[in-house]
Amino acid sequence: MRLALAQLDIEAGAVETNRERAEEAIAEAANRGADLVALPEIFTVGYFSFETYQRAAEPIEGPTLERIADAAREHGVGVLAGSIVEDLAETESVETPADEGLANSSVLFDREGNRLAVYRKHHLFGYDSAEAEMLVPGETLGIAEFEGATVGMTTCYDLRFPELYRSIAEAGADLVLVPSAWPYPRVEHWKLLPRARAVENQFFVATVNGSGDFEDASLLGRSTVYDPWGTTLASTGDDPDLVVTDVDLGRVEAVRDEFPAWRDRRT
């Protein structure tokens, strides 16, 4: 599988501009032979633009995800639209964890633009952030089958909670995609946590971060793909970029056979 991580330049509150950049990245990824492309967290308005969440919120059937589905279909590539601010009260075609409120929601589409899975961020950031006050946490794992791969979905702060990743591994995931809005100065955490999740679960972890400055934060970029040994396969700096690399899904079983740590696990 050829995987592309679209490290977009996200402008605060500029929904249309950000949508267009996402569509352009999907087209470029397809031109470079990608099978699957992932977008960053809250790519529509920017994670730190909390004041815009309410007016920018939309249902799963709304215009942003409709356009991403169209782009997937037009270019023949799978897309993880990760993520948007979802208006739970307006979503009709997907079960929601609440009758009202907002969620941080990612959607995985296949090459025909069909919706494969919806993941709503489980762990809401409470440290000097409005996210935990404004959003409703998700309740179900994000898991889907995509062309022979079992793909897991998490979001940003979820990286600090290893039990979620173990549950995804137990569900059979080969690859976990992590749309994020990780800011400076926590560079070392950004490098350590996904690598640890890859090593301890012996699967691929791909983190796709945004790029850009907000009033109170700057995103640090550095979107990266880690293999089941925790080795970096591809990465980039803090500027907008498209990270493209081939992921050999057979490596998951090979690594687990070579170093069968799961056999020694005690619960």
Q: What is the CA radius of gyration of the chain?
A: 17
Q: Is the dihedral of CA 163, 140, 82, 88 positive or negative?
A: negative
Please state whether beta strands 211-213 and 218-220 pair in parallel, antiparallel, or not at all (unpaired): antiparallel
Q: Of the candidates 199, 243, 238, 249, which has an alpha carbon nearest to the alpha carbon of residue 224? A: 243
Q: What is the DSSP letter of 185?
A: T
Question: Distance between CA 57 and CA 136 in Å, rounded?
Answer: 13
- Exactly one of 58, 86, 121, 131 is catalytic; name it: 121
Respond yes or no: is residue 121 known to be catalytic.
Answer: yes
Type of residue found at 139: E
CA of 251: how far to CAs of 165, 166, 229, 241, 259, in Å? 18, 18, 9, 26, 12
221 Rama class: left (phi>0) / alpha (psi -120 to 50) / beta:
left
Q: How far does the chain reach from its first CA to its final CA, in angstroms?
A: 33
231: Cβ–Cβ under 8 A, 6 or more apart, which residues? none
- Exactly one of 41, 58, 86, 131 is catalytic; name it: 41
225 Rama class: left (phi>0) / alpha (psi -120 to 50) / beta:
beta
Q: Are 29 and 71 in contact (CB under 8 A)?
A: no
Respond yes or no: is residue 156 known to be catalytic.
Answer: yes
Question: Distance between CA 136 and CA 120 in Å, rounded?
Answer: 9
- Exactly one of 90, 156, 191, 258 is catalytic; name it: 156
Residues recognised as catalytic: 41, 121, 156
